[in-house]
């Protein structure tokens, strides 16, 4: 796969402009297509402003802003915008009928080799791909906001997406220093399923009068949000101890009676088999070849650096 690709981004809103910028920074040829010149001009101005900020913060090399802008063009004519596209990334409103209609149209006018990618955060890729005759060249790429800063991108193959399409998509993302993760084609994928549980529970706690909005947000900004950049949820459970977590979940389930607190069968099985995390050197991860004291030391160092950056420590 050649490093430089022709990519058309359909939609010049917040995510469309951000994805276009992220790919242009990796020296790809980008065409942003939207309905009229006013939207296109606003999108290009937004990208220019963001580049100015990145330049001021020394995030991009000297002169990179100009070369990045030269990699981006705006168009309103759909057929012209996709005429030579290697990838088409759809970033239009989250309406399945609207997306299907667009992909049916694209299927008729795009070159045979063009890969279709949707930035949907929720809808099934397989269902969308069935509106085309290229289900093997159809994939989901769910970018995080802002796309030009955050490295994670969910990659969602449909039921008939080819291994070649997956490989090309991952390679494109890695060229832009992104961290792609493969997700099953299930509603919500991975990010939104995790995120939704947290957000819904936060609203529920407020609704039940358990805490104020300010205090609920402080739980994140002064606690959870500080740990998650350093250690993911499964790593944290390994640290706390799977047996401890099982005991806590069981108590909450017994007292609150809510299905969301019911301990997963996998957790029970792991505890029963003696996989308790760091304390047994085996949990969701295997620590038999790792120095536990050093792991904790490195975690604490990262936490101190983060808290100092956020001015939470002197």
pLDDT tens for each residue of 146-158: 999 999 999 999 9
Mean pLDDT within 98-102: 97
Residue 208 lies in a domain: no
Residue 145: which of 192, 183, 86 has the closest Cα? 192
Q: Which strands, in side-by-side order, build the sheet including 6-10?
A: 72-75, 29-33, 6-10, 87-90, 115-118, 138-143, 152-157, 179-182
Give the active site residue among 121, 129, 131, 135: 121
Question: Does the annotation mark 42 as catalytic?
Answer: no
Mean model confidence pLDDT for the chain: 95
Residue 89 domain boundaries: 6-182
Q: Are 113 and 14 in the same domain? A: yes
Give the active site residue among 42, 162, 192, 250: 192
Question: Does the annotation mark 259 as catalytic?
Answer: no
Residue 189 lies in a domain: no
Q: In the structure encoding, which two tokens stand for residue 64, read together?
A: 């990179």
Question: Does the annotation mark 192 as catalytic?
Answer: yes
| Number of domain units in the chain | 2
3-state secondary structure of 10: strand
Question: Does the annotation mark 142 as catalytic?
Answer: yes
Distances (CA, A) of 219 to 214, 216, 225, 300: 9, 5, 8, 19
Residues 98 and 101: their CA atoms lie apart, in Å, by 5
Summarised one tens digit per residue, pLDDT across range 45-75 is 999 999 999 999 999 998 999 999 999 999 9
Predicted pLDDT at 253: 94
Residue 102 near residue 131, CB atoms below 8 Å: no
Residue 163 lies in a domain: yes
Note the pTM of the prediction, 2 decimals: 0.90
């Amino acid at each position: 796969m050649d490093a430089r690709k022709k990519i058309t981004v359909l939609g010049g809103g917040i995510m469309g402009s951000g994805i276009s910028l992220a790919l242009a920074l990796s020296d790809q040829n980008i065409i942003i297509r939207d309905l009229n010149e006013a939207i296109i001009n606003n999108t290009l101005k937004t990208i220019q402003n963001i580049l100015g900020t990145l330049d001021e913060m020394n995030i991009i090399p000297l002169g990179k802003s100009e070369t990045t802008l030269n990699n981006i063009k705006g168009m309103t004519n759909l057929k012209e915008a996709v005429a030579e596209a290697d990838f088409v990334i759809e970033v239009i409103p989250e309406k399945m009928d609207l997306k299907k209609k667009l992909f049916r149209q694209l299927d008729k006018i795009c070159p045979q080799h063009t890969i279709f990618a949707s930035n949907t955060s929720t809808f099934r890729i397989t269902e969308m791909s069935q509106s085309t005759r290229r289900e093997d060249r159809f994939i989901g790429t769910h970018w995080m906001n802002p796309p030009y800063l955050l490295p994670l991108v969910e990659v969602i193959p449909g039921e008939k997406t080819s291994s070649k399409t997956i490989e090309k998509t991952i390679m494109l993302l890695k060229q832009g220093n992104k961290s792609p993760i493969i997700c099953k084609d299930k509603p919500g994928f991975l990010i939104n399923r995790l995120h939704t549980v947290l957000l819904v529970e936060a609203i529920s706690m407020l609704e039940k009068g358990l805490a104020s909005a300010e205090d609920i947000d402080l739980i994140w900004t002064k606690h959870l949000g500080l740990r998650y950049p350093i250690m993911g949820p499964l790593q944290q459970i390994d640290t706390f101890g799977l047996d401890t977590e099982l005991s806590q979940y069981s108590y909450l389930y017994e007292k609150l009676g809510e299905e969301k607190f019911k301990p997963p069968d996998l957790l029970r099985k792991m505890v029963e088999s003696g996989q308790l995390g760091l304390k047994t050197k085996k949990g969701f991860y295997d620590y038999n070849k790792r120095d536990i004291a050093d792991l904790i030391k490195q975690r604490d160092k990262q936490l101190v650096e983060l808290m100092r950056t956020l001015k939470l420590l002197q």
